């Protein structure tokens, strides 16, 4: 039996160099291959025309450039696309592409399922099955760029992630931004997310810079500083409630890291300034968190933090125990925040018709035995202890 080929996607430049030298290939090849893989999206070693044929053959004999399999692809009437992706072990996650006129964001998943159980979130009704590894996170970006036919052509286009303003006469890329807002809690899978984002940010490859990446967390306070120091990406906080009493109920992680601790971590977020504000996400739940008293308390809480507020109309899913606030209520809430000096756009739901909007993602690969579940929780506890996250 031949050994399975190692997938190159997800290796950083050091690891790639090591793999190549182990095969007797020269070190400098790593940069060439890197550029073929991440800048131009080559899927086949035979297309790497700057490499001699024997080198290409050696590579093909040992490595693959496999993408996840697409189990289902859907396109919304508003142009949003969703891919249900099957990983090598059969587990599935979703990624969503949200096009806008001069840019496009890919909403990337970090875990199969989620441990967080936020009450209004469809993914939260799904169990955590496992973390995605760096390769599976990067592969979501690769696959989207394949599907969108968004790879630059060697020698013709500007590198992939460069600013895409039309006046620069550069091609407008379909995928310019990344939001870590898919399935899972990225700060509970920090190592893999960080490894993946470093690859995505590398200027010689996918080149999607840190200012074009937003990581959203429901509030893993002790990991927030590290994320800022090491990655420097934009931060979004799923706040959703202004009292611990309510937040304990709808975002249960609040019992571990209450609002005060979370907001202190935001105040301390490296690089935060009026030019680089933290986004606070606030899902509008009818009769639950949408009163004017809530709006006032929100302004009080955020005082002193360079912030903008994203009001998200609740996106329904089958059996959800909430309704979306009325449009007029959301407007009034937003006006109050605006008057208090906060940019507070109301997020237009995208891809609702294909269940691709915020909080609607849920894959079918949910079956987890009690023993597996216990194992996952043990692993997470060990990880937390190792990262000093103990309660
Ligand atoms: N675990 C991370 C990443 C998920 S991001 C986090 O919690 O931030 C997805 C965003 O959509 C979060 O702000 C989440 O709270 C919000 N969301 C979840 N379910 C929703 C729903 N049904 N309607 C609107 N927004 C929802």
217 pocket-lining for ligand 1 (C-beta < 6 Å): yes
Which has the minimum average pLDDT: 135-139, 349-353, 367-371? 367-371
Tell the residue nearest (CA) to atom 4 of ligand 1.
Answer: 181
Distance 358 CA to ligand 1 centre (A): 5
274 or 172, greater pLDDT? 274
Q: State if residue 94 touches ligand 1 by the CB under 6 angstroms criterion.
A: no
* Ligand 1 atom having least distance to the Cα of 183: 4
What is the pLDDT at residue 129?
85
Tell me what the mean pLDDT of segment 148-162 comes to.
70
- The minimum-distance atom of ligand 1 relative to the CA of 114 is 1
The reply to whether ligand 1 has any atom less than 6 angstroms from the CB of 254 is no
Task: Give per-residue pLDDT as tens, 177-223.
Answer: 999 999 999 999 999 999 999 999 999 999 999 999 999 999 999 99
Q: Give 122-135 pLDDT, tens digit per residue.
A: 888 888 889 999 99
pLDDT of residue 371: 54
The predicted structure's pLDDT at residue 125: 84
Q: Which tokens is 9 given?
A: 């996607």
Residue 256 is predicted with a pLDDT of 97
Q: What is the pLDDT, as a whole number, of residue 358? A: 84
Does pLDDT of 166 surpass 80?
no
Which of 101 and 235 is assigned the larger pLDDT?
Answer: 235
Choose between 387 and 55: higher pLDDT.
Answer: 55
Distance CA 128, CA 91 (A): 11
d(CA 359, ligand 1 centre) in Å: 5
Average pLDDT, the chain: 89
- Closest-CA residue, ligand 1 atom 21, reads 359
Percentage of the chain surpassing pLDDT 90?
A: 78
**Does the C-beta of 161 come closer than 6 Å to ligand 1?**
no
Residue with the smallest CA separation from ligand 1 atom 17 is: 359
Question: For 114-123, how does the pLDDT look when each residue is reduced to its tens digit (9 = 90+)?
Answer: 999 899 998 8
pLDDT above 70 covers what percent of the chain?
87
Spatial neighbors of 163 by CB under 8 A, at least 6 apart, are: 170, 176
> Quick one: pLDDT at residue 363?
61
Domains of the chain in sequence order: 6-64 (1.10.150.530), 69-386 (3.20.20.70)
Specify the pLDDT at position 387.
Answer: 57
According to the 3-state scheme, what is the secondary structure of the chain? CCCCCEECCCCCHHHHHHHHHHCCCCCCHHHHHHHHHHHCCCCCHHHCCCCCHHHHHHHHHHEECCCCEEEEEEECCCCCEEEEEECCCCCEEEEEEEECCCCEEEECCCEECCCCCCCCCCHHHCCCCEECCHHHHHHHHHHHHHHCCCCCCCCCCCCCCCCCCHHHCCCCCCCCEEEECCCCCHHHCHHHHHHHHHHHHCCCCCCCCHHHEEEEECCCHHHHHHHHHHCCCEEEEECCCCCHHHHHHHCHHHHCCCHHHHHHHHHCCCCCCCCCCEEEEEEEECCCCCCHHHHHHHHHHHCCCCEEEEEEECCCCCCCCCCECCHHHHHHHHHHHHHCCCCCCECCCCCHHHCCCCCCCCCCCCCCCHHHHHHHHHHHHHHHHHCCCCC
Euclidean distance between CA atoms 316 and 122, whole angstroms: 9
- Answer whether residue 378 shows pLDDT above 70: no
Q: Measured from the CB, is residue 218 less than 6 Å from ligand 1?
A: yes
Q: Ligand 1 centroid vs 202 CA: distance in angstroms?
A: 28
Model confidence at 153, in pLDDT bands (50, 70, 90)?
A: confident
Q: For ligand 1, what atom is nearest to the CA of residue 116?
A: 1
Q: How many whole angstroms separate alpha carbon 262 and alpha carbon 253?
A: 11
Q: Given a cut of 90, is residue 268 above it in pLDDT?
A: yes
Q: How confident is the model at residue 9 (pLDDT cuts 50, 70, 90)?
A: very high
- Residue to mutate, 122, 128, 181, ligand 1, most ligand atoms under 8 Å from C-beta: 181
- Tell whether the model's pLDDT for residue 165 goes beyond 50: no
Is any atom of ligand 1 closer than 6 Å to the C-beta of 283? yes
The more confidently predicted of residues 259 and 165 is 259
- For the ranges 106-110, 361-365, 367-371, the one whose mean pLDDT is highest: 106-110
Confidence of residue 379 (pLDDT cuts 50, 70, 90): low
Q: Who wins on pLDDT, 21 or 374?
A: 21
């Amino acid at each position: 039996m031949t050994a399975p080929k190692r997938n190159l996607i997800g290796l950083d430049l050091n690891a790639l160099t090591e793999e190549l030298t182990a095969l007797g290939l020269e070190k400098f090849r790593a940069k060439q291959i890197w550029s073929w893989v991440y800048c131009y999206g080559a899927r086949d070693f035979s297309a790497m025309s700057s490499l001699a044929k024997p080198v290409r053959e050696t590579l093909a004999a040992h490595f693959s450039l496999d993408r996840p399999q697409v189990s289902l692809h859907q396109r919304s009437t508003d142009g949003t696309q969703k891919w249900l992706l099957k990983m090598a072990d059969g587990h599935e996650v979703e990624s969503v592409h949200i096009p806008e006129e001069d840019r496009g964001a890919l909403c990337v998943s970090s875990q199969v399922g989620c441990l967080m159980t936020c009450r209004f979130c469809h993914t939260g009704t799904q169990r955590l099955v496992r973390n995605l590894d760096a390769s599976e996170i990067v592969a979501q970006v690769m696959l989207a760029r394949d599907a969108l036919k968004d790879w630059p052509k060697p020698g013709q286009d500007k590198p992939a992630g460069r600013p895409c303003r039309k006046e620069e006469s550069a091609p407008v890329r379909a995928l310019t931004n990344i939001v870590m807002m898919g399935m899972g809690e990225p700060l509970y899978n920090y190592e893999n997310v960080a490894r993946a984002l470093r690859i995505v940010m590398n200027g010689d490859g996918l080149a999607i810079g840190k200012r074009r990446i937003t990581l959203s967390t429901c509030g893993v306070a002790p990991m927030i500083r590290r994320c800022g120091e090491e990655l420097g990406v934009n931060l979004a906080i799923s706040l959703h409630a202004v009292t611990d009493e309510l937040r304990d109920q709808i975002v249960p992680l609040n019992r571990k890291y209450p609002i005060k601790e979370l907001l202190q971590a935001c105040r301390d977020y490296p690089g935060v300034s009026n030019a680089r504000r933290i986004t606070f996400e606030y899902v509008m739940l009818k009769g639950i968190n949408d009163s004017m008293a809530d709006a006032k308390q929100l302004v009080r809480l955020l005082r002193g933090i360079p912030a903008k507020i994203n009001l998200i109309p609740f996106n329904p899913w089958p059996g959800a125990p909430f309704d979306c606030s009325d449009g007029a209520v959301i407007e009034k809430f937003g006006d109050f925040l605006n008057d208090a000096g906060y940019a507070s756009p109301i997020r237009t739901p995208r891809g609702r018709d294909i269940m691709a909007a915020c909080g609607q993602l849920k894959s079918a690969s949910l079956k987890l035995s009690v023993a597996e579940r216990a194992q996952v929780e043990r692993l997470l506890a060990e990880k937390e202890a190792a990262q000093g996250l103990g309660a």
